[in-house]
Amino acid sequence: MPEGYSKYHRHPGKPARTLQDAANDQQIIIVRCDHCRRLVNYLATDLVQVLNPSRPVYAPPFACSKCGTANYMIVHVKTPSLADHGHLVIRRLLGVKSVWEWGNRALGDQLERDKDLKRK
């Protein structure tokens, strides 16, 4: 288990509940920053697509986007109720953006990109 995860493992006698466990149970990960009070709800099924599914569910998935630190973040896990449907706002994973990568190379140098294309 990577350094830093142990503090989010609350019951030494039991195995840590993982993000994958929460995703299997269709749970909501509620992340609150105690410093700036920002609160974000995520679906565990979204988070397992971008984070290590075996990480402890109570480890903050990201640093606070307002404060830039995860030091004050508290994670709660919730099973959605019928009343939540249509009302509870969830920060969803909408897609992946790709970006152009640029770098300086000497004229005539072969790019990794060209080598990759030849292999296919």
Q: How far is the CB of 90 from Zn ion (least distance, A)?
A: 19
Which tokens in the block code for residue 113? 């990109």
Pick 66 or 76: Cβ nearer Zn ion: 66
For Zn ion, the closer of residues 40 and 67 by Cβ is 67
Q: Which is nearer to Zn ion, 89 or 99 (CB)?
A: 89
Burial of 59 (0-12, 13-18, 19+ CB in 10 A): buried
- The residues binding Zn ion (CB under 5 A) are 33, 35-36, 38, 64, 66-67
Question: 61 is written with which tokens?
Answer: 């998935």
Provide, rounded to whole angstroms, the least separation between the CB of residue 74 and Zn ion: 11
Output phi, psi for 48, to 5 deg. -65, -15
